[in-house]
């Protein structure tokens, strides 16, 4: 069996680091792992996605539409943009705080007011959390939002605790490893 995970957000939110942590945890647990990243205009706040696939033998890094077991999104509209990848019984963990794109702030477009309603209709298994607020309130560090999201996402993934801890230690700068481990553990309580 292969586990498929799609992460999405905008540039600068730590999606690629989160993908590296998942891949490292899966490798540590003895799985074959492939990843695929799309950066787009990430440096200008554009969409970023990462696909992580792991199992006994994984032959392709690409997730087919409708086959993702889990979707983790640090931006609500990005979750909707990639919702067609999630299988009907898949779990979605989505940040509630929007990142307003330049087209909206410049008046060229409108951010939908009914995003939460759309997300709840689209994802029957939805965790909808303000990860940015949790990162600031609990850890006084906005850069832990991605690791909190990973903790929330981890409960549905077949990876042992020690694999997650080792992956965080391996992928995060040593000065921030302990902080990110606490953020991950907090995310598991959500």
CA distances 123 to 4, 15, 58, 116, Å, are 16, 20, 26, 10
Question: Looking at residue 147, what is its pLDDT?
Answer: 98
Confidence of residue 101 (pLDDT cuts 50, 70, 90): confident
Average pLDDT, the chain: 94
Name the DSSP letter for residue 43.
G
- d(C-alpha 23, C-alpha 10), whole Å: 20
Question: Looking at residue 165, what is its pLDDT?
Answer: 97
Give residue for tokens 């995310």: 187
pLDDT at 97 over 60: yes
Considering only residues 39 and 173, tell me which one the structure prediction assigns the higher pLDDT.
173
Confidence of residue 42 (pLDDT cuts 50, 70, 90): low
* pLDDT (average), residues 130-143: 96
pLDDT at 168 over 70: yes
Range of the domain at 75: 2-188
The full DSSP string for 59-90 is: --SPPPTT-EEEEEESSHHHHHHTGGGEEEEE
Question: Looking at residue 43, what is its pLDDT?
Answer: 57
Confidence of residue 182 (pLDDT cuts 50, 70, 90): very high
Give the containing element (helix H, strand E) for 103: helix 102-105
- CB–CB of 73/5 below 8 Å? no
* pLDDT (average), residues 23-47: 85
User: How many domains in the chain?
Assistant: 1
Residue 154 belongs to a domain with what CATH number?
A: 3.40.920.10
Helix, strand or coil for residue 6?
strand
pLDDT at 41 over 60: no
Count of other CB atoms within 10 angstroms of residue 176? 15
CA distances 23 to 120, 140, 145, Å, are 28, 27, 18
Q: Report the candidate in 54, 80, 63 with the shortest Cα–Cα distance to residue 2.
A: 54
pLDDT at 122 over 90: yes
Give the pLDDT confidence of 57-70 residue by residue, as tens digits: 999 999 999 999 99
């Amino acid at each position: 069996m292969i586990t498929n995970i799609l992460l999405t957000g905008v540039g600068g939110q730590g999606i690629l680091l989160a993908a590296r942590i998942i891949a490292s945890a899966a490798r540590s647990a003895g799985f074959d792992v492939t990843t695929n990243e799309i950066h787009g205009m990430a440096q200008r706040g554009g969409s970023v996605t990462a696909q992580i696939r792991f199992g006994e033998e994984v032959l392709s890094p690409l997730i087919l539409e409708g086959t993702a077991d889990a979707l983790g999104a640090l931006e609500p509209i990005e979750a909707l943009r990639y919702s067609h990848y999630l299988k009907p019984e898949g779990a979605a963990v989505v940040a509630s705080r929007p990142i307003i794109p330049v087209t909206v702030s410049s008046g060229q477009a409108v951010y939908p007011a009914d995003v939460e309603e759309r997300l709840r209709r689209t994802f029957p298994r939805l965790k909808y959390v303000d990860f940015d607020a949790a990162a600031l309130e609990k850890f006084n560090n906005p850069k832990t939002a991605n690791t909190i999201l990973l903790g929330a996402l981890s409960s549905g993934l077949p990876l042992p605790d020690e694999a997650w801890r080792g992956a965080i230690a391996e992928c995060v700068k040593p000065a921030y490893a302990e902080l990110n481990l606490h953020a991950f553990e907090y995310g598991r309580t959500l």
